[in-house]
Amino acid sequence: MQSFFNNLDRGVLFSLFVLGLFMAAAYGTGYLLTRCGLRASCRRNFAAVIIDITLGLDVLGLITLTLGVLKLLNPVSIWILLGVPALAGGGMGLGAALKAGSIFLRKNLFFSILLIGIAVFTLGSALCFPYAWDEMTYHVALPFRWIAAGSLAVFADNPFSGFPSLTQLLFRLGCQNGGILFPRLLTWAVYSIMFAALYLYFKPYGGRLTVMFMTFMFIADPLVINMMRETYAEPFIMLNLLASLLMIREAEPSRKTLFRCGLLAGGAVAVKLTGIAAAAVIFIFLGRKYHQRLFGRRHFRLFYFALGGVILALPFYLRPWILTGNPFYPFLASWFGGSEAEILTAEYHYLLGNAHFGLRSIPGFFTVFLLIAFAGKPFDGLILGWAFIAFAGLGLWWMRHLFLSGKTVWKSWIQLPAALLFYYVFWFMTSQQTRFLQPLLFLVLLAALHGIRLFRQRQQKNILIVLLIIWTGNFFYPPARGYVVGSPDWLGVRHFEVSWRKQHYFPEHAAEILRNATHDPGYFEIMSSLAQKTHPEAKVMLLFERRGLYCPRPYVIGTPYWQAKYNTPAPPTPEAFYDSLRKHHIQYLILGGSPMNPDELSGKYPAEKERLLNRVNCLVGNGKLSIIRGRNNYFLCRVW
């Protein structure tokens, strides 16, 4: 097992080098697109650097998709893909970027110190191996599986491989040469850039202290702190949103500006379907600035925004459409003529997004906005904190003042209430998971910032003090004990502190650290047994377990209904199950019983699971399966 961990790792310094080259390539790609491709003029400030990096990330994802479909991704082509724009575009724009960065640093010294401090403090976590459930299932697992397959296949046994997957494709691009640390490092870099973009967007709407405080409140929100512990796709959506809003405000109104905003909106949609809400927010803000030119007969400029969005987003949906016949795989299978197994899988995933999360009722529509501040259990375990309610109150106070101002409302900030309402309704009507709410948190903080401006200078300081007291109380309550008891804020900060002390254990003691981090020692014990007791080419099926990142053998996932390729619907007899194993050349079977599984559903599914386990027991009884190892609800079986 240790040799497996060693093969995943490229070393801290080399992974950081790949990250630096990757970000230089992103900036160079964005710079070349803006200056040479579109010949768009814009102010050469730090906001332009952020916009170029974000555009570059989106375009690099699109290029990765193209090369991956053509099966041209390999270590050499990746070095070329990263090196050419880093040297060409980065070289051309390096002086402007350094100048813009030095001006930003000099004019925003205190925030720059804060941002650098946060980046250094959180870097330790990025230098540790991934340990979270979704990281081990698809965020990091899929890039390595694509590398092993030599293609960007949609694996029918892992439905997440059919997502648009812009983020996972960026990870795929970096993991080939940067190793297993790259996805966490790239996410860490995106958060740092995102915080700078947030500060820049807030800056014109308040005093320096107020803007810095509101930016810190976003960073220190329990939702953001705890999402920074893992590799998520959501910060990439948020970065595209902020870059678009900065461009809308900074760039001159033009067709090229609309086109670039469309590219960024398409980038948000290319990450995952929930990016549609962020793209709609971008359009709402654009509508306010271009309301006289967007739909006019002589100035039909909506076309350029839509064109940019389609160019960037459509290819990411064409991949699953061509490979599976469904652009939204695994969802909506019945709309696109899916098989029985695909329809059952689509139903399962629809229930996953609705059965576990949220309160779907008319009273819930008016109460969920408050519950997400302190009640994590009805959603996905994350909360926005008590301060969120105070920010929402300030935002409502500002909106009241806005609408009481009469006709002038249409000439001011009507787009912000419209964006807030749309995003909340979209989230409420889809999967009510708190981690999708970073854009809503940003919009509420922006409204609260406008609300604070309605008060006199002395009153503003008092408001900030009250908000800080609320956040501090949220940080220290409930009281902390050890590593797992305490407030979400405290546990997040504790994680980053512990990560710095533990990251040097990788890769030599990876299994031990990961066992403790996942609170699931049985998983790593069974994977160690798999590495010790099987030959390197043995094909393994994971049953009722889908975390394949640390599986040391070629694997498929066979959990019924969660995926469409194997055992969906569950085999009717033990013989049918055994024949399926032999047909697909499965040599070993791992039965998982993780207490951390977030995808257990009620209804018919427990009975179906029990029925399949009975099939396994029958095969063990008649000697067609033999148990090699069993411990902590995990079993490794040999298929004879």
Using pLDDT thresholds of 50, 70 and 90, give the confidence band for residue 154. very high
Burial per residue of 619-633, b for 16 or more beta-carbon CB atoms within 10 angstroms, e otherwise:
beeeebbeebbeeeb
pLDDT in tens, 351-367: 887 766 777 778 888 88
pLDDT averaged over the chain? 90
User: Would you state the pLDDT for residue 599?
Assistant: 74
Among residues 92, 85, 97, 84, which one has the least CA distance to residue 51? 97
- Mapped to the 3 state alphabet, what secondary structure does 472-509 carry? HHHHHCCCCECCCECCHHHHHHHHHHHHHHHHHHCCCC
Using pLDDT thresholds of 50, 70 and 90, give the confidence band for residue 402. confident
Least confident of 27-36, 143-152, 334-343, 593-602: 593-602
Q: What mean pLDDT do residues 95-122 have?
A: 92
Percent of the chain with pLDDT over 70: 96
Q: What mean pLDDT do residues 236-262 have?
A: 92
User: Would you state the pLDDT for residue 240?
Assistant: 97
Q: What mean pLDDT do residues 61-79 have?
A: 95
Give the separation between CA 429 and CA 333, rounded to whole angstroms.
20
Of the two residues 102 and 406, the one the predictor is more confident about is 102
User: Would you state the pLDDT for residue 580?
Assistant: 92
User: How many of the other CB atoms lie within 10 Å of CB of 418?
Assistant: 16
pLDDT in tens, 371-395: 898 887 778 778 899 999 999 999 9
Using pLDDT thresholds of 50, 70 and 90, give the confidence band for residue 298. very low
User: Would you state the pLDDT for residue 410?
Assistant: 53
Per DSSP, the three-state class of 362 is: helix
Q: Supply the pTM of this predicted model.
A: 0.94
Using pLDDT thresholds of 50, 70 and 90, give the confidence band for residue 550. very high
Q: What mean pLDDT do residues 472-493 have?
A: 84
Give the separation between CA 329 and CA 338, rounded to whole angstroms.
10
pLDDT in tens, 311-352: 999 999 999 999 999 999 999 999 998 899 999 999 998 888
User: How many of the other CB atoms lie within 10 Å of CB of 331?
Assistant: 21
pLDDT in tens, 569-611: 988 899 999 999 999 999 999 998 787 777 777 778 888 888 8
Q: What mean pLDDT do residues 133-153 have?
A: 94
Burial of 155 per CB tally in 10 Å (0-12, 13-18, 19+): buried
Residue 118 has pLDDT above 90, yes or no: yes
Give the separation between CA 376 and CA 395, rounded to whole angstroms.
23
Give the separation between CA 75 and CA 81, rounded to whole angstroms.
10
Query: Structure tokens of 39?
Result: 């010949």
Residue 556 has pLDDT above 50, yes or no: yes
Q: What mean pLDDT do residues 59-73 have?
A: 96
Q: What mean pLDDT do residues 103-122 have?
A: 94
Query: Structure tokens of 141?
Result: 């697992």
